[in-house]
Structure 1
């Protein structure tokens, strides 16, 4: 019966090798309002089921005689249940011969739902058939719910693992598509009205919606979630919902699951089409609502981080001198590069500096340990302290000691690496103080490249710093200083990465810009940390 108590018509496969048996069973079932399909043998029944499976018209139940001429009804049941796309088909065995209880148990053990002893009253046959179908459908519903809950759990795990709002939108869109068995789009609207869009992987589009469509959706989401708490399910008609988000160039009404963040400054929207496709069932829609709740919880820290990252990057860029604004360093040529980490990585505290001092020119590259807005602000303090101290003191080791004391006094929980190079442009004399940093790489024209033998403790741990390492640069030599973000790779020893850097620098074209660009091309793609780089040489 359906939800309103009406008897529903079913298709019944009757497998019986006797003409009289097929006729009698067919007449009885048709009188009860069912359609009947017949087969004379077990193999014929399997062939009929294969044809109907390909056509998407499997019967609702199979009535199988136990005594078939080729294979027994029990074996036929086992073969049906062994096929993944037929396993849910209910099987009712019947026999006109009296069988012992053990034989009936054999039918149940084979996977059958019931056993009829013929002749039986018409009402009994109809009741057993309907009960078998009803139990199979309930079982199928339970299995479908279990699959959907498993899909929901898998999607929530993927959503929680996302490292950026874009990854989050993509993961949620794929999960929504799997839950609803149709196309889906997910939108994460940031506090600055930046819209991140994810679409399910099965959506093929030659031309995704333009910026105007995204602005329309952003404005719509902002209006619909204003003053809202919790999940809201609503439908937006096609004229108000831009075409192309579900299928290229096609208009659809959009069924939206909307939820704002706790502070109401951002929102998440899971969207599925309703025009031209079957509407999502209520039980699936409830799971989509649960997914929306999980998605907004995962979105809040990612969006907060995006804001923090923007502040940190703005802070770094505002205090790091741009290449065209570096101070004049008579007798020395300098090239610098700064590359923020990829969008999925956290912000760091990398920096560079090039300064004039009474005893020569001071170059510095450093990295505050950690990845946060705090690391960026401490970087600014170290750089300003360095600028202040070098007005009266040029010795790199003394400067390292002073910066160490400053860091321990104001930020006792923070450490930093720093390499300081003081160069006399008249003589090429170089003095190096290295506080836990990658030492400078000296690239000698036609003679390879070697790291300066300069080492020392991190800043912020209170260990005395050794005297500076001294060397002399020839006019054709280049000195390179980098932060470890350029070469550090998870799972690879830093010494191995440093050797790769040395080899790449040796093969770079002449010139400072060529050196920096070559190394960025070799190592600087999708790094998990910021990159700061400074190269210098005596002016030609």
Structure 2
């Protein structure tokens, strides 16, 4: 279209394609239209009209409207209209049918069914022809404006959904930059602060992150943003001239002016910043509309950043708790070799409550793993309390069944809404006699060279007050290893747990004899980017160590 987008009135120099096999009629229509200030593209047949449209489309100068005679020699005007409407690039072009014969209801109906916008009979008064052309073009431009607005709002909605789905500052910055690039049709960059104050830079997908300016340039952008937001609220926008804007953010090594948009979720939070080249969001028409939509996107990103950063802070606290109470190195366990591994959930996921324990008692070595149900700071706190309670209870007794029952009562009294799983094993290093109590947890694996089997130990989880069965007894041979894991190692959404358990058994059976290497092998097979914490504990009699 020749008119500026958003303007409903046709421009003076509207281009009209006139398709008529009668030279005199074609000339008369052309003369009327030219006197009204229109440009005319004549065609004597439907085939010639299609060739003209292809040529004009390649030149980027499609007509604004087509006047088509219904009685063309090579195909009817109805069929030509249908062809025009089927082509994606010309489907929005209005078509007006005309005929030298009086049109009946059937003719008009056929034209409308083929996609035509209007119909008139020639000869007609010049004013009528001009009015029909104006009305057809005006209607098409209204539709084009509405479709463009709908498409932009759809892009904005998709961008906001991606921003709200971000699970960490890096994902938020990338989603914001990607959305800004789609809205503006240009490169974009976004700046988001993490919970630890680290500045995260996100770029649209086509921009290589390894070629971005250094950290000092990002800090300069933040200083610009803070000055722009000083004493202000909502979304602020400004043009930053190229001498003041760090080179290379939009295109590697290039210096250019930027449109900077900044928003804060609250007075206490760092701003979220988005920048696009100045030409992409300035001036009238589409640029002005892009700037308005970008402001809405930045505001949505700022609102999403606040709870995300609060979650990051909570997660860091929980991880500090977990790491402080789950030391990587255990004290010496007489007569046994014990190896543990703990891997927190991916940075993009929630906080878990997995734990392990290894204690020396008067009756042998007590080992175990457990998992507080849920993902939150509360779950991590309950995990710490269970682990401390287990150590305290073990001073008086090392009977796994008694310990499980006491932990069950602890949860019911002090955390009635919490549940947990735990598996405890008391091992006599001298004889290998082992007693295993399992409260809703994955049963332990007995691993030997080339084989592995699950121990038949089961029972209800902690926190629901059900009776716990007698411990399962077995004798751990010197060449066997007892392996305990939490479900974070193998549980995968959409895959049956039984399938995952069998996969774990097979991998463990073929794993190395060394306990540390065995644990690392399992982590490399199962533990990448897991949605839950992972705790592993492997133990064997010291006679087979080394």
Is residue 350 from structure 1 mapped to residue 354 from structure 2 by the alignment? yes
SS of equivalent residue, structure 2 residue 12 = coil
Describe the shift of the 1:7–1:143 C-alpha distance in structure 2 as closer, same or farther (beyond 3 A). Answer: closer
The alignment status of 1:39 with 2:51, answered yes or no, reads: no
Partner of 1:314: 320
Deviation at 1:371, TM superposition (A): 0.6
Residues 1:299 and 2:302 are matched in the alignment = no
Question: Which among 535, 540, 544 is matched to residue 537 of structure 1?
Answer: 540
- 2:338 paired residue number: 334
The separation in 2 between residues aligned to 1:453 and 1:310, in whole angstroms, is 37
Offset at 1:49? 0.5
Instruction: Report the counterpart of residue 425 of structure 2 in structure 1.
Output: 421
**2:180 paired with 1:180:** no
What residue in structure 2 maps to residue 125 of structure 1?
129
Partners of 1:191 and 1:266 within 8 A in 2: no
Quick one: structure 1 residues 366 and 426, their matched pair in 2 at CA, closer, same or farther if it must change by over 3 Å? Answer: same
Query: How far apart are residue 57 of structure 1 and its match?
Result: 1.3
Report the Cα offset of residue 260 of structure 1: 0.9
- Asked if the contact 2:282–2:288 (Cα under 8 Å) also holds between the matched residues in 1, the reply is no
- Match for residue 83 of structure 1 among 77, 83, 87: 87
1:477 aligns with 2:480: yes
Q: Tell me what 1:462 maps to.
A: 465
Q: Is the 8 A contact 2:174 2:204 kept in 1?
A: yes
Could you tell me how far apart the structure 1 residues matched to 2:344 and 2:109 are?
Answer: 71
Pair 192,220 (structure 1): closer, same or farther in 2 beyond 3 Å: farther
CA distance in structure 1 between the aligned counterparts of 2:220 and 2:86, rounded to whole angstroms = 52
- Distance, in Å, in 2 between the alignment partners of 1:493 and 1:72 is 63
Structure 1: gaps of 5 or more residues? none
Q: Which deviates further from its counterpart, 174-183 or 434-443?
A: 174-183
1:17 to 2:21 alignment = yes
Q: Displacement of 1:69 after TM fit?
A: 1.9
Please provide the CA RMSD for this pair. 2.7
Q: Write the mapping of 1:236-275 to structure 2, written as runs, cut at 5 A.
A: 236-275=240-279
Structure 2 Cα separation of the partners of residues 277 and 300 of structure 1:
26
2:62 corresponds, among 52, 58, 65, to 58
Counterparts in 2 of 1:105 and 1:433: CA distance versus 1, 3 Å: closer
Q: Distance in 2 between matches of 1:220 and 1:537?
A: 61
Q: Secondary structure at the match of 1:239?
A: coil
Change (3 A) 1:276 1:293: closer
User: What TM-score do you get using the length of structure 2 for normalisation?
Assistant: 0.90
Q: Distance in 2 between matches of 1:445 and 1:112?
A: 80
The alpha-carbon distance between structure 1 residues 7 and 473, as it changes in their structure 2 partners (threshold 3 A), is closer
Return the alpha-carbon distance in structure 1 between the equivalents of residues 208 and 74 of structure 2: 49
Contact between 2:482 and 2:539, CA under 8 Å: does it hold in 1?
Answer: yes
2:225 is the counterpart of 1:221: yes
Contact 1:254–1:272 (CA<8 Å) still a contact in 2? yes
Q: CA deviation at 1:538?
A: 1.6
Asked whether the equivalents of residues 193 and 218 of structure 1 are also in contact (C-alpha less than 8 Å), the reply is no
Distance 1:60 1:275 in 2: 27
Q: Which residue of structure 1 aligns with residue 169 of structure 2?
A: 165
- Asked if the contact 1:351–1:379 (Cα under 8 Å) also holds between the matched residues in 2, the reply is yes
Q: What is the CA deviation profile of residues 325-370 of structure 1, one whole-angstrom value per residue up to 9, with x for unaligned ones? A: x212122212111111112221101111222222222212111111
Given the superposition, is the C-alpha separation of residues 385 and 5 from structure 1 closer, same or farther in structure 2, using an over 3 Å criterion? closer
Structure 1's 149 and 275: CA in aligned 2 closer, same or farther, altered over 3 A? closer
**Rounded Cα–Cα distance in structure 2 between residues aligned with 1:219 and 1:430:** 63
Q: Do the aligned residues in 1 keep the contact of 2:264 with 2:299 (CA within 8 Å)?
A: no
The answer for the alignment partner of 1:363 in structure 2 is 367
357, 363, 374: which is aligned to 2:378? 374
In the alignment of these two chains, the number of paired residues is 537
Q: In the aligned structure 1, how far is the partner of 2:223 from the partner of 2:166?
A: 25
- 1:67 Cα deviation after fit: 3.0
Report the Cα offset of residue 438 of structure 1: 1.5
- Tell me how far 1:28 sits from its aligned partner: 3.6
Matched, 1:198 2:222: no
| 1:526 pairs with one of 522, 525, 529 | 529
2: distance between equivalents of 1:364 and 1:457? 16
Give the equivalent residue in structure 2 for 1:282: 288
The CA distance in 2 between the partners of 1:283 and 1:504, in whole Å, is: 57
Q: 1:449 aligns with which of 446, 449, 452?
A: 452
Which has the larger displacement, 108-117 or 85-94? 108-117
Provide structure 2 residue ranges, at least 5 long, that are not aligned to the other structure.
Answer: none
Q: Distance in 2 between matches of 1:349 and 1:276?
A: 48
- 1:96 Cα offset (Å): 4.1
Q: Is 1:389 the equivalent of 2:399?
A: no
Contact 2:228 2:236 in 1 (8 A): no
TM-score, normalized by length of structure 1? 0.91
Q: Give the C-alpha shift of residue 8 in structure 1.
A: 3.0
Aligned equivalents of 1:401, 1:171: Cα separation in 2: 48
Per-residue CA shift, 1:189-228, capped at 9, x if unaligned?
3454333333333445662343333333334334433443
